[in-house]
Amino acid sequence: MTRTEIGTLAARSREQLLRRNDIFTDFFQLESPRLAAACHEMSRRFLAGGRLLAFGEGAAATDAQHVSVEFVHPVIVGKRALPALDLGPDFAARMPVLVRPDDMVLGFSFARGDAVAERALRVAEERGALTVALAGDVADYPFALPDQDVFVCQEVFEVLYHMLWESVHVYFEHREQGHDVGASSFLYPFLGSQEQPLERVVDEVQSSMLKKLAEVNRIRAVAADTEVESLVALARAIAERLAQGGKLIAFGNGGSATDANDLVADCVAPPPGITPIPAISLAAEPANLTAIANDIGSEAMFARQLIAHAHTADVAVGISTSGGSANILAALAEARKRGLLTVGIVGYDGGKIVRDHLVDHALVVRSDYIPRIQEVQASLYHVLRGLIETFQGGY
């Protein structure tokens, strides 16, 4: 491929990243009032003992996983763990058994008219649960697909559920509820008996959402300037490994684990028009992960699996917001030792992965706030997926 052709691909990738900013702005400027109202109701339900149940199929299943980990294991020190559950691939059977009247249900689907998802949401609604459809028409809070590109839709909805999580805590911290929380009082000692004006809090939540939107757009714009050449070089290197019979091996912790799962879903079961490629996620093996962590230690969780699965032609993709997780570093070191192409998708300044030159290729989202890092990382690996397809097709 000539220098001019590579430059054209880099320019096209930059345009794809920047195009997202307009879509995000239009969506959240329109929907922030409804999102603020949904957060208010969710905060009341959490205080009443409700849980957040999430579900989805295919790539959408990874968003349900991400929702669960965000609410149960908050990334901001001092935030309360809130009950959330990913219902898994058999969500249609689990929903009638598990849902309760005080619960909240987020249904993910990026296909129009998803009958299975709609039935699950109807069951939840009949039981009294608050329902949110991302996307769809059957819910208390239905949201339409913001774009024809499935990848872009998924990125918008990731920002949306991050905002839900962040904004629910705003209502808690403003002590807006103004009622006795009973047995939950030990979890929420900052809630008092003086109810604050709801209108002021809702306005603050909406304003906060639009500020978060501006920040994710800014970070993505920076990445559009700094990372596109790396994206093109990485896609070319991955395509070469795939041509040799290799596969992608992805891994990460927490929200980054769900991103690893999502990247793999985008590889093996991509949207129409994209050719499937072989990929596995080491983060999607709970029995192996818990066995290794229990018997050896968490640092070996991914390296041990990689020893079993890796071949020389493979590509190891470590996803980390910090760039310094011990088990990611260990797996990348093992991959290097075995001759794999090594990749880091990282945040902050790239952390130890970049400073110590532990990968052949790095994509860096320059931010120190984990939700915003993850949101732009998703944009980068989605554009990367399209570039891989381009190189495989012979440009």
The DSSP string of 65-100 is: HHHHHHHHS-SSTTPPP--EEE--TTHHHHHHHH--
pLDDT at 197 over 70: no
Domains (range + CATH), the chain? 20-215 (3.40.50.10490), 227-392 (3.40.50.10490)
Beta strands in 197-240 (DSSP E): none
SS3 (DSSP) at 103 = coil
Task: List strands edge to edge, sheet with 315-320.
Answer: 279-281, 248-252, 315-320, 341-346, 361-364
Q: pLDDT tens digit string along 211-234?
A: 999 999 999 999 999 999 999 999
The whole-angstrom separation of Cα 33 and Cα 274 is 36
Q: pLDDT tens digit string along 56-78?
A: 999 999 999 999 999 999 876 67
Closest C-alpha to 373, from 309, 322, 300:
322
pLDDT at 124 over 50: yes
pLDDT at 92 over 50: yes
Q: pLDDT tens digit string along 316-375?
A: 999 999 999 999 999 999 999 999 999 999 999 999 999 999 999 999 999 999 999 999
pTM above 0.85, yes or no: yes
pLDDT at site 79: 80
CB 365 within 8 A of CB 347: yes
CB 167 within 8 A of CB 36: yes
Q: Considering the chain, what is the average pLDDT of its residues?
A: 92
Q: pLDDT tens digit string along 245-280?
A: 999 999 999 999 999 999 999 999 999 999 999 999
pLDDT at 240 over 80: yes
pLDDT at site 112: 80
- Determine the Cα angle at 287 with ends 285 and 292, to 5°: 95
pLDDT at site 180: 38
CB 70 within 8 A of CB 161: yes
189: confidence class by pLDDT, cuts 50, 70, 90: very low
pLDDT at site 394: 63
pLDDT at site 191: 39
